[in-house]
Amino acid sequence: MYKTTKYFPQDLMSDLIIENPLMLNLLSRFAMPLGVGQKTIRQCCEENNVDTDTFLQIVTLTIDPSEENVVNTALHFPSVLRFLENSHKYFAEFRLPFIKANLEKALKEQPLDINKFILAYFDEYLVEVKKHFDYEERKVFPYITALINNTATDKYKISTFSRHHDHIEIKLMELKNIIIKYYNLKTSYELSDVLGSIFITANDLQRHNELENHLLVPTVSEIEHKKR
């Protein structure tokens, strides 16, 4: 069955980005530069060694991460893995520390002495996220690369990963919900802003997770099946 995406290789990259602000993040995770001018999606991808079909598949899933949006294309795994690793870097090294700093600033204005518990919660979360990402980068991604290159030796299977793959965004969403529901905090520009960032990032993390579950796992397991 062939299902079309909303965007095509011959569409302008600028249209895609301007119509979907989420694509800015996507571009940076594919390490593709701005200044796209009148270039098509295919041109931009080829200039940056990104597989166009794989790029468009991830675009589609970023816009709507439902399982039915997984088109059965042959994924170009180096592109996918580079994208996922860059996403990890974005969350762990940039976005979450940024939220923590802003949370600290926003809570400083508050008269309550519970702030250190909120920050401790956040720190604990950060450790979990890093562990989650680290496992994928140390175990799962190298396994996939080896599988593609026919050099997989150990008995690892992608199903082991999917069984243990937690919803990494839940604890972050819960923090925001707890603050909104139970903490009688004074609203401020800083607080609203950081809560807004948490919303966006939790959704972004969820999308990231769903991409791994709906795209990576089934495609890899199909390859495993063929090779056995």
Partner 1 sequence: MNRKIRIAIAEPSLIIRTGLMSVLKRMTSLPMDIYELLELSNIELLLIKYKPDILIINPVYLGNATLETLKHNHKLANTKYVALQSSMLNIQLLKQYDRIINITFSAEQIKEILSKLVFTKEQTDSFDLSAREKDIVVAITEGLTNKEIATKLHISINTVMTHRKNISAKLNIHSPAGLILYAIANKLIEV
Q: What's the min distance (Å) between Cβ of 172 and partner 1?
A: 11
Residue with smaller CB distance to partner 1, 47 or 123: 123
Is 70 in contact with 215 (CB distance < 8 Å)? yes
Strand, coil or helix: 5: coil
Residue 66 or 160 with smaller CB distance to partner 1 = 66
Site residues, partner 1 (CB under 8 A): 64-69, 113-114, 117-118, 120-121, 124-125, 170-171, 174-175, 177-178, 182-184
Nearer of residues 34 and 114 to partner 1, judged by Cβ: 114
User: Closest distance between partner 1 and the C-beta of residue 202, in Å?
Assistant: 13
> Residue 174 Cβ, how far from partner 1 at the closest point, in Å?
5
3-state SS record for 50-111? CCHHHHHHHHHHHHCCCHHHCCCCCCCHHHHHHHHHHHHHHHHHHHHHHHHHHHHHHHHCCC
Output 20 or 48, the one with its CB closest to partner 1: 20
Nearest residue to 66 (alpha-carbon basis) of 162, 207, 219, 222: 207
Residue among 225, 228, 222 at smallest CA distance from 77: 222
- Residue 144 CB, shortest distance to partner 1, in Å, is 25
